[in-house]
Structure 1
């Protein structure tokens, strides 16, 4: 049998495969050719079967994992105004008095800068694929910016259509929303497996009419795309649907026939048992954003049914949401929080083990993104999306249990190098594709400009001199 030709061979590293058997190799190797994995296994076996143009000896230095999948992140609007929202704002105040004004005050160029910053932060902390919460203004500028970073993602314009003002033309609003989705799916199709493709990104909550839900679902099905939307972060969502339809939010979506494996709903905190059962039966994915829930006092640990959803078989995945909810776009921080929240609130240490949480950040996220056949695990034939975590750091010494270390000890600051689609996009903690210093200077200027334009001050309880 002939040797396998590879472009890169990483040897003598801990390799956490996340394959069907969840194999972990203490002295493992990974080989890639082009954009695909061509070998993975014990170093001695792989080295005997692979001839590579480049070899990285990871002896006592690296832990190799699949790239993580962030299933809900705001890449525009918030990254360039990070941290300006006070931490005592409830959900409605946070959204309507702080976030929306800055969303609407940004320019397309500022969206471009924000998207690039968000992508850089994700890549540098080990996330190789994401699902966007929704671009506010200019999807073309955002796609262009993302292309320069090398990240993989699913993006879309933030769409809503419900007529709230008495003089709104409901039919016209729905036509406009549907036309937006049709246009973005035509401009950025998912055929031929591009890094960046469009999905319908509904604002969700109570902002989409039944007609828009049905139309978006039909379009997603026709184009092989998914749909993402916010739902039931606050009691206002189920209360609205109960008042207007007689059914809670998830139950009403089920009645419309729009639940299913194409749909990723974010937050899903204020649910009842029927809604949990409907999510499980339909194959709908749920994105848990634990850091947002904590900072925004959403009630995830008080009333959230995430343990019940997990027990029912709902595909739970992770998101970091928006920076102004106190979050970095570091999904490893979200893993740590998820592993602890429900252990403490339910006083049950068996809930959400490190193993289960790592699945949420990798294979579950890949499934929710519609790419389980391509990403989320290190297996022959899958895309070469992977991360080298640097063991030459105090949080990685000693290394006894790689999964526990990843979830409880490490975070994204220990990510040394990252490959997406076989391309090295982070090397020795730095982007290989963009000028980071130039981007940071642009971000500083853009953040101040957006807040000034929006007429929003950054409060501080202490004097800033």
Structure 2
């Protein structure tokens, strides 16, 4: 029998249970994972690794389950971390009023330092809960400051600047508005190009809904086609989007986007809660990715339990990935909420089993980003993005089924250590790159000043003495 060649590695972790998410969905008990630079070079049994891996450093992983890093497909990384406790609406406000009178003024009142701070707070939260890759939701204003902050955090992500190309005022110069929006799209992807391997870059991310005319959608799609990027946008969280498109175009949003050629495998659409079967079929036929944000949907009363079609999209072969939308702090809770909502609505406890939840958080997220050959799986050649989950917690107990225990029962804050691109960024729950105490201290006055600049009233449901 020919002896396997020696594998040189920077780090070898031995004795862990490894959820590989490879094509065979292997789970390796008493396993080993080795990395060199920013790549995985070996995944297998501990005893084999001890024979063939020559590592500069070896660590004992016997108390841990290792999973691929999670992917958050939709998160607003700015504003929310500074103003999460601010009451933004009252029951008499419509959803549109909530956006125009409360949410948007908060976003647009941010200073560059606000946005950098908020982006780093978002990165802190994502990493703490095992997210190693994210796709921003397209509401960044001060791009350079945000990218600087994210680079310091060591997280992998794609970001989009705030792009709105529709002039709702009939007297406004619509052609100039479109030109400015397209110039912004072109400028951001030129300033932060995606070479396929970089940690941070810009993609054309549209606010969506009715905020951009066809010319801007098609310009974003053309940019993505030419440069190997992806377009992302919000659409149809509620009936207001279909109503607007029906009134203007006499067809529903996804029908309109399909007709103008704005859908396809390099397009991701977030929410899609208020769609019908014909639109669902278009998502499947065009290969468009759907990003589902359970916290926004179920907590926001979008009616998803009654009308949601994400399961049908998945059954049809569409890629569905998960996002937190900034409403949640961890993708694991979002996955569980998706399962609970659909199981209850359809009276079927077998829907969305643990295996599917793991896929949604890892390989589906990787595929939605177009990176299924580099992240979301623990296998030789893949990026060294992985998470060590501490099993020395009451919620774990003895390990019988690590996939089920992680997906259904493990505490989200049970993440012990995180590596991104071969670099350890979290150890024992402590961030190694950012000063968490300092950032949290800065967040309090920054959030208060941000709300004060908007002039919006601070409201509480009960009187405060």
Q: CA separation in 2, counterparts of 1:52 and 1:234?
A: 53
Q: CA separation in 2, counterparts of 1:191 and 1:163?
A: 34
| Partner residue of 2:246 out of 242, 246, 250 | 242
Indicate the residue corresponding to 2:179 in structure 1: 175
Q: What displacement does 1:149 show?
A: 0.4
SS in 2 for 1:255: helix
Say if 2:120 is the partner of 1:107. Answer: no
| Partner residue of 1:251 out of 246, 252, 255 | 255
Q: TM-score when scaled to structure 2?
A: 0.96
Indicate the residue corresponding to 2:35 in structure 1: 32
Q: How does 1:10-25 map to 2 (within 5 A)?
A: 10-25=13-28
Q: What displacement does 1:97 show?
A: 2.5
Residue pair 1:28, 1:41 contacting (<8 A) in 2 also: yes
Provide, for residues 4-59 of structure 1, a one-character-per-residue CA deviation record: whole Å limited to 9, x for no partner. 01111111111000111111112111110000000001211222111111111111
Indicate the residue corresponding to 2:5 in structure 1: 2
SS in 2 for 1:148: helix
Q: CA separation in 2, counterparts of 1:108 and 1:98?
A: 20
Q: CA separation in 1, counterparts of 2:464 and 2:20?
A: 48
Q: CA separation in 2, counterparts of 1:463 and 1:66?
A: 46
Indicate the residue corresponding to 1:450 in structure 2: 450
Q: What displacement does 1:462 show?
A: 2.6
Provide, for residues 228-250 of structure 1, a one-character-per-residue CA deviation record: whole Å limited to 9, x for no partner. 10000011111111111111000
Indicate the residue corresponding to 1:412 in structure 2: 412
SS in 2 for 1:64: strand
Residue pair 1:85, 1:94 contacting (<8 A) in 2 also: no
Indicate the residue corresponding to 2:368 in structure 1: 368
Q: What displacement does 1:134 show?
A: 1.6
Indicate the residue corresponding to 2:431 in structure 1: 431
SS in 2 for 1:142: helix
Gap regions ≥5 residues in structure 1: none
Q: CA separation in 2, counterparts of 1:147 and 1:131?
A: 15
Say if 2:80 is the partner of 1:55. Answer: no
- CA gap of 1:167–1:411, structure 2 versus 1, over 3 A, is farther
Q: Which runs of 4+ in 1 moved over 6 A?
A: none
Residue pair 1:125, 1:330 contacting (<8 A) in 2 also: yes
Residue pair 1:417, 1:428 contacting (<8 A) in 2 also: yes
- CA gap of 1:96–1:411, structure 2 versus 1, over 3 A, is farther
**Mean CA deviation greater in 119-128 or 294-303:** 294-303
Residue pair 1:232, 1:269 contacting (<8 A) in 2 also: yes
SS in 2 for 1:264: strand
Q: What displacement does 1:464 show?
A: 3.3
Q: CA separation in 2, counterparts of 1:170 and 1:126?
A: 43
Say if 2:127 is the partner of 1:123. Answer: yes
Residue pair 2:88, 2:103 contacting (<8 A) in 1 also: no
Q: CA separation in 1, counterparts of 2:27 and 2:398?
A: 17
**Mean CA deviation greater in 454-463 or 437-446:** 454-463
Indicate the residue corresponding to 2:313 in structure 1: 309
Q: TM-score when scaled to structure 1?
A: 0.96
| Partner residue of 1:263 out of 264, 267, 272 | 267
Residue pair 1:78, 1:99 contacting (<8 A) in 2 also: no
Q: CA separation in 1, counterparts of 2:458 and 2:289?
A: 36
Indicate the residue corresponding to 2:70 in structure 1: 68
Q: What displacement does 1:398 show?
A: 2.7
Gap regions ≥5 residues in structure 2: none
Q: What displacement does 1:272 show?
A: 0.9
| Partner residue of 1:84 out of 71, 77, 86 | 86
Indicate the residue corresponding to 1:184 in structure 2: 188
- CA gap of 1:456–1:88, structure 2 versus 1, over 3 A, is closer
Q: What displacement does 1:432 show?
A: 0.7
Q: How does 1:383-422 map to 2 (within 5 A)?
A: 383-422=383-422
Q: CA separation in 1, counterparts of 2:17 and 2:118?
A: 34
Provide, for residues 169-223 of structure 1, a one-character-per-residue CA deviation record: whole Å limited to 9, x for no partner. 1110110000001111111111151100110110000111011111110011111
| Residues matched between the structures, number | 460
Residue pair 1:7, 1:34 contacting (<8 A) in 2 also: yes
Q: CA separation in 2, counterparts of 1:457 and 1:435?
A: 32
Q: What displacement does 1:353 show?
A: 1.3
Q: What displacement does 1:88 show?
A: 6.1
Q: CA separation in 2, counterparts of 1:167 and 1:241?
A: 21
